[in-house]
Structure 1
Amino acid sequence: MNEGKIIAIRGVVVDVKFPEKETPQVYEALIVEDKLILETELILAPGHIKALAMGSTDGLKRGMKVKNTAQPITVPIGEKTLGRIFNVLGETIDEKTKLTGLTRQSIHKNAPTLAQQAVEKNIFETGIKIIDLIAPFIKGGKVAVFGGAGTGKTVLIQEMIHNVAKEHGGVSVFAGVGERSREGNDLWLEMKATKVIDKTALVFGQMNEPPSNRLRVALAGITMAEYFRDQKNMDVLLFIDNIFRFAQAGSEVSALLGRIPSAVGYQPTLASELAALEERITSTNRGSITSIQAVYVPADDYTDPAPVATFAHLDASLSLDRALAEQALYPAIDALTSSSRALDQEIVGEEHYQVARQVLKTLQRYKDLQDIIAILGMEELSDEDKLTVQRARKIQRFLTQPMAVAEPFTGRAGKYVPIAETVQGFKEILEGKHDDKTEMSFYMVGNIEDVK
C-alpha cells in the first residue's frame, strides 16, 4: 500500500501528502492508522490531495500515517443485506452478527446508458387514494414529497414502505440521509412490528454524523438497490429521507474544500452532484428502481435552490400543505399543487383521467369561491356553486385516509385502496350519488363502501 501523511485538517477535510508518483485517484479510499476512512476528493498537485473523513476527525493530528487502499468505498450487496442496518461504509450497525463473505460494490457507478433503459410506462399502485388519483407513480420513476417541518413527510414514506411490503411483496431500500436518529430508530422498530423489515435494507448517515457521511449515504443506498434491479431482475423501491440533507451536506463540504459558494450559500456543483445521484435511479430492461424522496423545504420556500434543483429530475411531486395539516386532513397533500407526468389518458386510461381532472376542477372552483364565502357567506352563492362547494368539501375529506403506520397513535386501522376503487369512489361523489350524506362521513375512510 502507498503511504502518505496528514499535513492539514480543516473540519472533515484532511490534506494528505503522498510521494508524487503515488498520488491516489479521485474517490479512492484511504485509511488513517487502520481506523478512520478518508475519501480522495481533490488533487491539488502531484502527491497533494484533499480527502473527506468518513467519521469524526477528533484526535487526528499532522504527521499521522495514511495508507491508500487503491479502491473506492464499497458496500455489501445481496439478499443478506435485507433486514439489516448499515452505515455509509457498509458496516452493520444493528448490533447483530457481522456479515462476512458478501460481494461488495463501489458506491460510485455510472448511470445506465439510454440503450439499457426501459421505455414502457406502467403505473405503480400505492394504495393511497390521493396519490393514485391525482399524482400516480410510474414504475422506475422519481417522486418527491415536498413539505416543511412537521407536515407528515416521514409518515407518508413509512406508509408506502408498509404498503409495498404487504401488498406487492417487493424489496425496499431505505437511505436515511441526515435525518434524526430518533426517526431512524422509530422506523426500525415500526418495521419489525409490521414484519416488513425482512424485505428492506436500511443504510443510515444521520444528522449527528459528519457531512461527508451524509453526502455519500444516498449513493450507498442506490448501489444496494441496483443489485436487486440488475442481478435479480426485480422492481425495487428506494426511499431517500431527506434529499435536502444531501444538498445541505454538499454545501458544508464544498466550503471546506475551498469552492466559491453559489446562490444562498449552496455549492456551485449542486446541479451536477444531484444529477449524478438521480440519473442512476431508473428502469432498465432487467428491472426498475422507483424512488420516493422526502424533500424538506426550508422555511416553506419553494424557490430555494435545493428543492428547485430536485424538481428537474422528477416524474411526480407531492406537495404537503401546512394549512391541510392544521385541519387534520391527512395525508396533507395539496391536490392542486401536486402533479405527475403519468396523469395522461395514454397511461392511466380515459375514465381515471377524466375523474381526476373533474376532481381538480371542483377543488379549484371551491378555492376561487373561498374569498366570497368568507366575506358574504354561503347564502350569496348560486345554487350551482353551493352544490360545487358541498361536493368539494366531501372530496377534500374523502382524500384523507387512515395510515397503517399511524394506527398506534390514532386508533384507526390503516386502509389500502386499489386504484379502481379510488376512481369509482370519486366518480360517484362527482355524479351526486352521495349528496345526501354528511361531510364527516367521508373523513378518514377507505373506499366509498366505507362511507355511511
Structure 2
Amino acid sequence: MSLNASDISSIIKKQIKDFSKKDINKKSEQGEILSIGDGIALVSGLDEVKLGELLDFGNDVYGMALNLEEDAVGVVLMGQSNSIKEGDKVKRTYNVVSIPVGDQMIGRVINALGEPIDGKGAINSKKTRVVFKIAPGVMTRESVNQPLETGLIAIDSLVPIGKGQRELIIGDRQTGKTSIAIDTILNQKGKNVKCIYVAIGQKNSTVAQIVQKLKLAGAMEYTTIVIAGASELSPLQYLAPYSGVTIAEEWMEKGEDVLIVYDDLTKHAIAYRTLSLLLRRPPGREAYPGDVFYLHSQLLERAARVNKKYGGGSITALPIIETQSGDISAYIPTNVISITDGQIFTSEALFNSGQRPAIDVGFSVSRVGSSAQIKAMKQSASSLKLELSQFNEMQSFAQFSSDLDDSTKKILDHGKKVYSILKQPQYSPLDQSIQIIILFTIKNRLIENVPFNFIDKFKENLIEFIKKDPNANEIATEIRNTKEITKELNDRMLITFKTFVDNFIISNAIVRNNQNQEANKEAGDK
C-alpha cells in the first residue's frame, strides 16, 4: 500500500497545478483513490478529513478514515470493493461514524453500523450518536455499590458484580464463558436492566441459537444484539463493540442501568491487528500495533456508574477473553485484566470434571468485592471462600496420604458438598433470596449429616421447599425486602431449615442407609 515514485510525482504536480485555482481556506470535499486492495484504500486530496469520518466511494460503498498521513488518507472499506477501482473519486460526508440509538433498538438484531438484520423492517429512531467518544471523567462517576445479580450462586457469593463495574470473563475455549454471560442476561428479567450482547467474530449459527434462546425466555424484550460475524469484514468487527456501548450510553444518560457483553475481545484485537497491518502501521509484540492497549481501554472505560448530574445511570461491562491453554499472561489477556475491575476465570479441568459453571475460585476475583453485595449475602457467604480454599489445600495434600484424621476428613467432605451445591445447570439462574438461604444452610453446617450422594437432591428439594412452603417463602420475601438477616430472622431460619434437613434425612431413609453401610463394612472387616 506504500506510494511509489510516480504516485508521489503525480500528487506534487496536481498540488502545484491546483494551487492557484483553489481558495486556500476552502475545504477539499473530493479525493481520488491511489490504490485499493484487501479492503483498504489509499486516497489523496482529502486535506481536511477527520479521523473516523465516513467517506462515500459511490455504488453504496462507504469507508472510514483511519490513517491521516501527510499526502494520503488510509481508509478501511465497510462493504465489498468489487465495484470501485483506482482513480475513482471519493467524497467526504462530513459525518463521523454514527449509529441510531434509543428504545427502538430494544428487541432488535443489528450489524455494526446499526442496520437491522432481523427481517423486522427499518428502525424508526430519530436520534443518532457518534460511535467514538471520550469516556466519562472521574468527577462524573459514582462509586460502585449496587449489586448486578447474575443468578449464578458461585458468582454472586464469591465474585460479586456491581452496577458500573467491568468484570472480565476469561478462560480457554469451550469452558462456558458465553453461558455465564447469557445466564446473567436472562437473570435481568423484571430487574429494570437493559442488556446488549455484542458478538464479534462468532459463527452466525451460534449467534442465531443465542437469539432463539433469549426469545424463548422472554429476554429479547429488554435486549439488543449487535453482530459482526466471522464472515464479516475486519472493519465491522472492529466497530461492533463501540456501536454496542454507544447504544448503552444513550440509556445510561437517561438514568437507566445497562448490561453489555463483549463476546469476545480476543477476536476484536485480531480484527484490529489485521486492519493495522494492512494500513502499514508498525507492528509490535505478537504483531499487534502499539495502541492495542488503548483499543480496549477506550472501550471499557466507557462502562461506568455516573452521578445524577450526568443522568444517574450505569453501564456494566462483561468482556470475554479466550486464552490458549490457560495462559493468562499472554499479551491481550494481561492488557484486559489490567483494565478491568476483576476477572472470572473458567477452568478447563473443572469444566471437564462436571463443575458447571467452571469457575476457578483461586484465580477469580472482584475488585469491587462485598461493596456490590447486599448485607444478607455478605452474612451468608462470608466464610465460603475460606472454606473452599481450605478444601483445595487439603485435597492437594490428601492425595499423598491414605490415613487421614477426622478433622481433615470433615473439611474434605464439607468442601465436596459445597462444590456440588455451587453447580448450576445452564439457563436456570436463581433468585438472590434463594441463593442466600442455600448459603445459610452451608454456613451453619446444616448439610453435615446429608451424605454427598444426596446433595444434588437436597438442593433441588430445598429450592422447591422455599417456593412452596408458606413459612420458607415468607423468609425469602423478608430477605428480599429487608436485604439483611436480623437476629430474629436468623433464629427463624435455623428452626425452619433444620426441620427441613431432618425431614429430608428421614424421608430418604438416609440414617438407615448409613447404618446398613456401616454394618456391611464391619461384616467385610470380619
Structure 1-normalised TM-score? Answer: 0.90
Taking the TM superposition and a 5 Å limit, the aligned residue runs for 1:278-293 are: 278-285=300-307, 286-293=312-319
Does the 8 A contact of 2:104 with 2:124 survive in 1?
no
* Residues 200 and 352 of structure 1: CA distance in aligned 2, closer, same or farther (over 3 Å): closer
Q: Which amino acid aligns with 1:137?
A: I
* Residues 440 and 63 of structure 1: CA distance in aligned 2, closer, same or farther (over 3 Å): farther
1:402-435 deviation line (CA, Å, top 9, x unaligned): 232xxxxxxxxx24131x4434423432432211
Q: Corresponding residue for 1:145?
A: 169
* Residues 441 and 37 of structure 1: CA distance in aligned 2, closer, same or farther (over 3 Å): farther
3-state DSSP class of the match of 1:204?
A: strand
In the alignment, structure 1 residue 110 sits paired with structure 2 residue 134: yes
* Residues 446 and 339 of structure 1: CA distance in aligned 2, closer, same or farther (over 3 Å): farther
Deviation at 1:357, TM superposition (A): 5.2
1:232-287 deviation line (CA, Å, top 9, x unaligned): 31011111111221211111112112222222222211111111111111111220
* Residues 70 and 276 of structure 1: CA distance in aligned 2, closer, same or farther (over 3 Å): same
Q: Corresponding residue for 2:99?
A: 75
More helix as a share of residues: 2
3-state DSSP class of the match of 2:400?
A: helix
Report the aligned-residue RMSD: 2.2
Does the 8 A contact of 2:434 with 2:463 survive in 1?
no
Q: Which amino acid aligns with 1:276?
A: Q
Q: Corresponding residue for 1:422?
A: 435
3-state DSSP class of the match of 2:227?
A: strand
3-state DSSP class of the match of 2:339?
A: coil
Which deviates the most, 57-66 or 283-292? 57-66
Q: Which amino acid aligns with 1:24?
A: V
Q: Which of 33, 58, 69 is equivalent to 1:44?
A: 69
* Residues 383 and 313 of structure 1: CA distance in aligned 2, closer, same or farther (over 3 Å): same
1:265-311 deviation line (CA, Å, top 9, x unaligned): 22211111111111111111220011112211133211111111111
In the alignment, structure 1 residue 437 sits paired with structure 2 residue 437: no
Distance in 2 (CA, whole Å) between partners of 1:38 and 1:447 is 59
Q: Which of 143, 154, 168 is equivalent to 2:191?
A: 168
1:108-167 deviation line (CA, Å, top 9, x unaligned): 111112222113522222221011100001111111111111101112211111111x24
3-state DSSP class of the match of 2:195?
A: strand
* Residues 448 and 304 of structure 1: CA distance in aligned 2, closer, same or farther (over 3 Å): farther
Q: Which amino acid aligns with 1:90?
A: G
Distance in 1 (CA, whole Å) between partners of 2:366 and 2:208 is 32
Q: Which of 151, 156, 173 is equivalent to 1:127?
A: 151
- Ranges in structure 1 where 5+ consecutive residues have no aligned partner: 405-413
Q: Corresponding residue for 1:18?
A: 45
Q: Which amino acid aligns with 1:358?
A: S
Does the 8 A contact of 2:151 with 2:183 survive in 1?
no
Taking the TM superposition and a 5 Å limit, the aligned residue runs for 1:309-388 are: 309-344=335-370, 348=373, 352-353=377-378, 356=381, 358-377=383-402, 380-388=403-411
3-state DSSP class of the match of 2:390?
A: helix
3-state DSSP class of the match of 2:242?
A: helix
Distance in 2 (CA, whole Å) between partners of 1:320 and 1:49 is 43
Q: Which of 200, 206, 213 is equivalent to 2:223?
A: 200
In the alignment, structure 1 residue 253 sits paired with structure 2 residue 275: yes
3-state DSSP class of the match of 2:325?
A: helix
3-state DSSP class of the match of 2:399?
A: helix
1:54-110 deviation line (CA, Å, top 9, x unaligned): 233345421222211111111111111111111111111112211245211110111
1:302-358 deviation line (CA, Å, top 9, x unaligned): 1111111111122231111111111221111112211112324x6547774575453
Does the 8 A contact of 2:150 with 2:429 survive in 1?
no
Q: Which amino acid aligns with 1:193?
A: L
Does the 8 A contact of 1:422 with 1:447 survive in 2?
no
Distance in 2 (CA, whole Å) between partners of 1:298 and 1:321 is 12
Distance in 2 (CA, whole Å) between partners of 1:217 and 1:97 is 21
Distance in 2 (CA, whole Å) between partners of 1:382 and 1:58 is 75
- Ranges in structure 2 where 5+ consecutive residues have no aligned partner: 1-27, 465-500, 505-526
3-state DSSP class of the match of 2:85?
A: coil
Distance in 2 (CA, whole Å) between partners of 1:168 and 1:253 is 40
Deviation at 1:172, TM superposition (A): 0.9
Q: Which of 157, 160, 179 is equivalent to 1:136?
A: 160
In the alignment, structure 1 residue 95 sits paired with structure 2 residue 127: no
Does the 8 A contact of 2:248 with 2:258 survive in 1?
yes
Distance in 2 (CA, whole Å) between partners of 1:51 and 1:136 is 42
Distance in 1 (CA, whole Å) between partners of 2:325 and 2:144 is 38
**Percent identity between the two aligned chains:** 23
Structure 2-normalised TM-score? Answer: 0.78
1:347-398 deviation line (CA, Å, top 9, x unaligned): 5477745754532222222222334433333xx1111110000000001111
1:22-59 deviation line (CA, Å, top 9, x unaligned): 4311111012114221100111114x100111233345
* Residues 76 and 360 of structure 1: CA distance in aligned 2, closer, same or farther (over 3 Å): same
Deviation at 1:447, TM superposition (A): 8.8
| Count of residues in Structure 1 that have an aligned counterpart in Structure 2 | 434
Q: Which amino acid aligns with 1:11?
A: D
